Amino acid sequence: MQRNRVRMLKRNSIHLYFDKHYGKPGNSKQFWDLIKPFLTDKGSKKNDNIILHEADKIVIKPEEVCTIFNELFCNVASEIVFDDSIPNLGDNDELFEEIIRKHNIPNKEVYFLKISEREVYIILSTLDTNKSCGHDNVSAEILKISTEHIAPKTATMIDQCIDYFVFPLPLKYAEVSAIFKKKDNLSKENYRPISVLLMLSKVLEKVFATHISTYFSDIFSIYLSAYTVRHGWIDVLSKLDDAWKKDLDDNEYTGAMLMDLSKAFDCLPQCLLIAKLH
């Protein structure tokens, strides 16, 4: 009887919910915001209401929840099977030499060219206004409106970053939110971190990405489709489809090995990444 009563209350609540919102004019985003909670609970857990089950107790206080997530996200890759900790040498040159020696990375230089005001102007004017702004509350819309005035100064700043090999520290700060993924929402392992960077840092990233992509164009494998311009998942499927059809025509066996690494980006060896970037 109690179960049936709960079902009735739930059903009535859903009816009231749709009666309240149904028929109002709106766009597709509003429609999906209305219907999504009834399709999936993925991503529906709000970061200001997170409750965790930790060390046999329920954690409710936001400060304690934040501390738990901070510890988790900072140490998620601590169980890598080999030691890849960054040595504390103090001097950057010594640090790079030690890391490169450790991983035996061949040296090939990449050159960043001077940035033109026109290039920065195009990047600023094409920023996505739907993206969230960082902790400085400067939105993409504000940058787009003032593009003509800030493009020259921004280009100068980027050139100075290239000349002095420095990425401004304030542009590295991010607002980190814990987003629920799946299964038990009381378990910290079922959340993933989302970092919202400053809009201006994304401008620098776009500039550097253009130069780095050009540098890697003749280094990446021709079979790599991710993170390359004008390539995507459809290229992977097309290559597989052609290969499988050819094997079938030749009366050969065909197999595929698919692999999904848990927390792959979190477990990327930091020293190896630094050595490759250097």
Total domains in the chain come to: 1
19 occurs within a structural domain: yes
The 10s digit of each residue's pLDDT in 40-79 is: 665 554 545 899 999 889 999 999 999 999 988 887 766 6
Q: pLDDT confidence of 150, banded at 50, 70, 90?
A: very high
128 occurs within a structural domain: no
191 occurs within a structural domain: no
pLDDT of residue 108: 65
pTM: 0.62
The 10s digit of each residue's pLDDT in 211-221 is: 787 777 777 77
The length of the chain in residues reads 278
8 occurs within a structural domain: yes
The more confidently predicted of residues 219 and 207 is 207
pLDDT of residue 251: 94
Range of the domain at 25: 1-39
Top-ranked range on mean pLDDT: pick from 13-17, 38-42, 115-119, 223-227: 115-119
Q: Is the pLDDT of residue 27 over 70?
A: no
pLDDT of residue 115: 87
Q: Is the pLDDT of residue 90 over 60?
A: yes
pLDDT of residue 42: 56
Cβ-based neighbour number of residue 151 at 10 Å: 22
Least confident of 125-129, 198-202, 204-208, 209-213: 209-213
Contact yes or no for 211/75 (Cβ under 8 A) = no
72 occurs within a structural domain: no
pLDDT of residue 89: 61
110 occurs within a structural domain: no
Residues 6 or more apart whose Cβ sits within 8 Å of residue 278 = 96, 99, 100, 105
271 occurs within a structural domain: no
What number is the average pLDDT over the span 163-179?
A: 89
Residue 63 tokens read as 């400060």
- Residue 263, phi-psi category: left (phi > 0), alpha (psi -120 to 50), beta (remainder): left
